[in-house]
Structure 1
Amino acid sequence: MYTSNLNNLILNSDSYKTSHWVQYPSGSEYLSSYIEARKGDYDVVFFGLQAFIKEYLSTPITHQDIDEAEMVIQAHGLTFNRAGWERLVDKHGGYLPLRIEAIPEGSIVPVSNVVCQIINTDPEFYWLPSYIETALLRAIWYPSTVASVSHYCKNIIRQALEKSADNTESLTFRLHDFGSRGASSQESVALGSLAHLVNFAGTDSMTALVAASRWYQMDKDMPAFSIPAAEHSTMTAWGRDGETAGFANMIEQFGGAGKSFSVVSDSYDLWNAIDNIWGGSLKDDVKNMGGTLVIRPDSGDPAKVVREALERLAVKFGTTVNSKGYKVLPDYVRVIQGDGISPQGLSKIIDVVMKAGFSADNVTFGMGGGLLQQVNRDTMSWAMKASAISINGIWKDIYKDPITSRSKRSKKGRLALIKHSNGQLKTIKADELTAESDNLLRNVYVDGKLLIDESLTIIRERAGW
């Protein structure tokens, strides 16, 4: 029985790819493919390619990888291109003879534009660009989709703060990542939570901090922060009759000037917790502790619960009216809603809160499954398609144009991305580039070498941090 290796790049593909090397026309030399998000509700925030290159393309393929792959693939019932892979090891030292060019990470582009393009640099390996489609497309679509959803949410919150708050200084802490436990794997957390940090600086996914250091040069600067927070187990451990004591313990442990902490307050009766504990027996302690208590509801209809929580807190603690004419709770008490948050739900909550006269400044959000898990390749219709092939020295455009689905029509030719003088981005054929037009696609990986290695800080700035 064979021993499988998850890091064997030859096996990091779809089964049907193993037979494609004999399916291309005789004389095939170069194959150019591109990646795009074909459609969707969000602009693309491109992210994740650098992580993939460092993790998977920086280590050469070995003869041991070939032996293992042959054993698996032939037992799987498929043909195996042993000669091709051995030639790759012998001629190129196991490094992939590919050129990958892409837009800079953190770039924001409309859907239906090229964001990445790949071509082989050695005509013997015309079959290679398509072979790594599975791994490369997955490496881009997932973190880019999370970054795009996160950026969309950031714009919703920004607009709400601009309309209802005195300033937007707290924007990067307004959407906290709660998604670690709900993600499909640790690598999903590493990529997805890190993608969220392109836009925000709040996370409870410590794996993202490791990922930032591993892939994006954040070994010295801390890219994100969190605060002490209660969960139901720590609160219910005090028993129903001891809920007040449990809350008081949180103030004692974590209160203080300049400090913030969060307490889930709906283990039994949220309204009793607000009216009679936080706003009753512990009211003076909350007012005088010097920090900020963040009350967390965790059940019910989010919009209704948040609005009523704010209204009840306003009765107990009072409000002031800011320069925009919206009510703001005292600095020492706020609300965080982390249950059932989606981009659409987030917008609804903010609308309800502001219609009730409260500033968006009163509320922070936590997003879990809606951020990291409730996305898939179809969320933005990501695809990698071959668009040009060189056969016997002659380039020709190739494309798909299914009569049954015009939305799946693919682009033709070797591509470039340019910015018009009006600021609009457009995908064109590379041979249409002029001296005045600057191709936004740039070489990132060539023949085993990562050519651009950027920090998360630079990527954040590009994304409008």
Structure 2
Amino acid sequence: MTIPLNDRNIILDTDSYKSSHFLQYPKGTTRLFSYLESRGGKYPQTRFFGLQYILDRYLTTRVTADMVEEARALIEAHGEPFPFDGWMRVVNVHGGKLPLEVRAVPEGTLVPIHNVLLSCTNTDPELPWLVGWFETMLMRVWYPTTVATQSWHIREIIRAALEKTSDRAAEELPFKLHDFGSRGVSSRESAGIGGLAHLINFQGSDTLEALRVARNHYGADIAAFSIPAAEHSTITSWGKEHEVDAYRNMITQFSRPGSIYAVVSDSYDLKNAINTLWGEELKADVIASGGTLVVRPDSGEPPAMVRLAVNALAAKYGTTTNSRGYKVLNHVRVIQGDGIDEQTIRQILDNLDVDGYSAENVSFGMGGALLQKVDRDTQRFAYKASAGLIDGAYRGIYKDPVTDPGKRSKDGVLDLVQEGGRMVTKAYKTFDTDFPGSLMRTVYKDGELIVRDTLETIRGRG
């Protein structure tokens, strides 16, 4: 019978070849220093997020002798050597706590590309190879950081449109981009940390897992909000001939003064749903109920469908012109949740502007493009060794491939500082520094999480 492996065995959360590296560093190596950066990519700056979760969830785990034995048996059978004595030193000398120090910029910070975001070094001179062992785990901060970065840049697009066309920009902005991505990601954990990365920029989400991660690891009681909303099954289960009754039920169940509810309205014919059902048969009910109806198109070409819906609803419900000269729909709004990405958001907002409508008339639901259509190369993340202590002497470590100059790595004991109004990476040629003027902090040391920021604090840094 095959014995299942321990899900909490963090020794196994690495790449196979890492297990051979303890034999590869020069003799006399007692210290290594590695760093993480975005080497470029789609956006000129990143919004750093997610390290606290990784450290809290995984690197505070105590290594046990059973974990070491389990890892040795698997890795040696897998074809790799295993640093058994080193791992047992972690257990017996350090009480299972990892002798590592991690420094990082505060989560939520916007950092220009090509700068250090986090660094890692060993605190036990017998175990320098641990710095590379956990590259695999620490590198995964690329995912929440990239989601947070994309979400932030889209927020700035929407912010500009609201500030131009709305009297309520500050109130509207937090709920303009809603996370619909939970079903489109690869795992529950991706939904949680990716969904929470979005929520450092916005407060609307249907990804409940993000709320759980926020509460457990970022001190947030309720990280986001949602509203009652229909899906196709709750409309089509009434039958096509009773479509209007399905809509009427939504009003009865969810519409109250001040409430908001969303109804997918293209199960059969969007034009008929807006012009006849919502616009005539149910119009008096929508208005009398006092709630705000949000109509959701869910098929067709997104910019065209939103344009159609907004203009049709304006013809039926009327508009009010705000102080900026833009029209705001009365009693109704539109949310587009299909085919939404940065490009379609820009197109929809441009169409609204051209047609004289405020951006507050429309919200966006973003799914796969928000949480899944990113990868490590979106921002070209890399984790590289940059300094070592070998036979007691400092040595800079870097690579500089002639075939790809863009992959030249930095050397030195790195830090992030503010100089002349901009962030720059500073390189020390010694391990003996107290990092004066640093923008980074020691967030983890010797198995303990040193800094624990709340979601509210992180949001305030954007």
Q: How far apart in 2 are the matches of 1:136 and 1:380?
A: 16
TM-superposed deviation, 1:359: 1.0
Matches within 5 A, 1:84-99: 84-99=86-101
TM-superposed deviation, 1:167: 2.6
Q: How far apart in 1 are the matches of 2:80 and 2:106?
A: 38
1:186 aligns to 2:184 (yes or no): no
TM-superposed deviation, 1:6: 2.5
Contiguous gaps of at least 5 residues in structure 2: none
1:153 counterpart residue number: 154
TM-superposed deviation, 1:431: 5.4
Q: Cα deviations across residues 141-165 of structure 1 (Å, max 9, x unaligned)?
A: 0111111111011101000001111
1:260 counterpart residue number: 260
Q: How far apart in 1 are the matches of 2:137 and 2:435?
A: 35
Contiguous gaps of at least 5 residues in structure 1: none
Q: Cα deviations across residues 147-187 of structure 1 (Å, max 9, x unaligned)?
A: 11110111010000011111312110111000011111000
Matches within 5 A, 1:6-405: 6-42=7-43, 43-138=45-140, 140-168=141-169, 169-218=171-220, 221-330=221-330, 332-405=331-404
Q: TM-score, normalised by structure 2?
A: 0.97
SS of the equivalent of 1:364 reads strand
Pick closer, same or farther for the CA change 1:191–1:285 going to 2, 3 Å.
Answer: same
Query: 2:296 touches 2:334 (CA, 8 Å); kept in 1?
Result: yes
1:426 aligns to 2:433 (yes or no): no
Query: 2:10 touches 2:61 (CA, 8 Å); kept in 1?
Result: no
Q: Which amino acid aligns with 1:101?
A: R
SS of the equivalent of 1:348 reads helix
Query: 2:396 touches 2:429 (CA, 8 Å); kept in 1?
Result: no
TM-superposed deviation, 1:88: 1.3
Bigger drift between 319-328 and 273-282 goes to 319-328
Q: How far apart in 1 are the matches of 2:96 and 2:433?
A: 37
SS of the equivalent of 2:294 reads strand
After TM superposition, what 4+ stretches of structure 1 lie above 4 angstroms from structure 2? 431-437
TM-superposed deviation, 1:53: 1.0
Q: How far apart in 2 are the matches of 1:119 and 1:434?
A: 13
Q: How far apart in 2 are the matches of 1:384 and 1:196?
A: 23
Pick closer, same or farther for the CA change 1:71–1:435 going to 2, 3 Å.
Answer: closer
Q: Cα deviations across residues 120-153 of structure 1 (Å, max 9, x unaligned)?
A: 0111011000000001111x10111111111011
Q: How many residue pairs were aligned?
A: 458
Query: 2:394 touches 2:429 (CA, 8 Å); kept in 1?
Result: no
Pick closer, same or farther for the CA change 1:436–1:177 going to 2, 3 Å.
Answer: closer
1:440 counterpart residue number: 439
Q: Cα deviations across residues 264-307 of structure 1 (Å, max 9, x unaligned)?
A: 00001001000000001001111111010000011111011101
TM-superposed deviation, 1:351: 1.1
Q: In angstroms, what is the RMSD of aligned CA positions? A: 1.5
TM-superposed deviation, 1:430: 3.4
Bigger drift between 36-45 and 253-262 goes to 36-45
Query: 2:247 touches 2:263 (CA, 8 Å); kept in 1?
Result: yes
Q: Cα deviations across residues 79-131 of structure 1 (Å, max 9, x unaligned)?
A: 11111111111110111100100000111111111010000011101100000
Q: How far apart in 1 are the matches of 2:219 and 2:317?
A: 44
TM-superposed deviation, 1:3: 2.1
Query: 1:2 touches 1:71 (CA, 8 Å); kept in 2?
Result: no
Q: How far apart in 2 are the matches of 1:39 and 1:345?
A: 24
Q: How far apart in 2 are the matches of 1:216 and 1:85?
A: 30
SS of the equivalent of 1:69 reads helix
